[in-house]
Structure 1
Amino acid sequence: MTSDSAPLTIAIDGPSGSGKSSVSKAVAARLGIGYLDTGAMYRALTWWCLDQGVDLADEAAVVVAAEALPLELSTDPEDQRVVVGGTDVTADIRSTAISSEVSKVATNTGVRPILQQAQRDRMAAIAEETGGVVAEGRDITTVVAPDALVRLLLTASEEARLRRRSAEVHGAVDEEAIAATRDQVLRRDRDDSAVSQFTVAADGVVTVDTSDLDFDESVEAVLAVVASLAAHARG
């Protein structure tokens, strides 16, 4: 932020279970600015392809679907809605069925530039409308918004990430629940690592390790980085 009136742009990357989505929404709410879940865009496209009978293995067909994706996303971090072709898919895109297929779309090298440009456009519109934006995903700090005022990599140990995602998906953190979550979380990260860098911070990106932080502490840690960088930018 170069002046008090300039939009505050915050880019947050991180692997599955690092807390980036929940923390990003809380940070946006605390700051009173808009929020963009870029991962929801890949999930929405996955849902749309399956709904329209598009073979996810047909990369060219998925690219065509991406170009015409009829997507609506809310910008309110406390009231997230994802609508595709008039259908509210907010809950559907978080299903195991979509989670198990989304990497096929997210690793499609023809799809990524299309959605990345859509993300830039949405970030600019949200920032203009609300005075700022928190955008989170996997290559936001490096590809989508490398010029963002605040660029953060949220990370956590594998154990912590599996425990969190298990609690989210299965409502339990016992050995069986964690085992059921392991493949989904680690395979998604492994697959996506082939097309984006979200495990090691790029130059100028601040790492926040949430392994030993609870939710509130993670939010405060991010807000502290935002405050510090915003103050520095103001001189």
Structure 2
Amino acid sequence: MTDAQTLGRALDELLQPERFKDYGPNGLQVQGDRPVRKLVSGVTASKAFIEAALAQNADALLVHHGLFWRGQDGRITGWLRERLRLLLAQGVHLWAYHLPLDAHPELGNNAQLGIQLGLRADARFGDQDLGFVGDAPSALVELGAWPAHVQQILGKAPVCVPGDGRPVRRVAWCTGGAQGYMEAAMAAGADLYITGEISEPQAHLAREMGVAFMACGHHATERYGAPAVGRTIAAQLGLEHEFIEIDNPA
């Protein structure tokens, strides 16, 4: 068991949120009043996740997508009111880390996705060095091998735009909604860029520039960082930890 201040300090020391310019507040988003025995991690602080965590006797929650984002008007109504009501009624703490949880070199979403896909980064690219770049595994030099490989690991068929079909020597990746990093990935020398989502311009860029693009799912690519951080912090502080997966087709 520990107190919220100790848990918050441990998370901040590990993830260093002060290094990032982000779209919302990182760190403690909802202050509870319980001592922490059990930490539950997840991808998004949805109502379904909060309810599932409460059913497992969580004292504190750790997520990648929190409750508050730049551009919200500040009114506590609708879905936001309901999520807050559940947390406040039970005195449960909520921590959320967005870009810091993407970027951590060993435990973050990008590092953990790389481990899942058999990739090891040797360089970084993009805004705030969020993207990772590394050599393709020898068994995956042929682009045609990648869709099945990704589907087997992530359980989701990717959207693939093949570019010019060149051999895949270098792979760049950045989880979630990082489709806008494709030009930076190409500049970093990628033959294949992997992210979570695709927008209209990326298909044209892949076809015109020859670099393959794969959208593997926002949620599917970002479900590995929070449990990795949760396990590490729980072990450090002597807490119980559980990761709760809430399926999301996005």
Task: Decide: shared fold, TM above 0.5.
Answer: no
Q: Indicate the structure with greater helix content.
A: 1
- Greater radius of gyration (CA): 2
Higher relative contact order (CA 8 A, sep 6+): 1
The alignment's TM-score, normalised by the length of structure 1, stands at 0.27
Greater share of strand residues, 1 or 2?
2
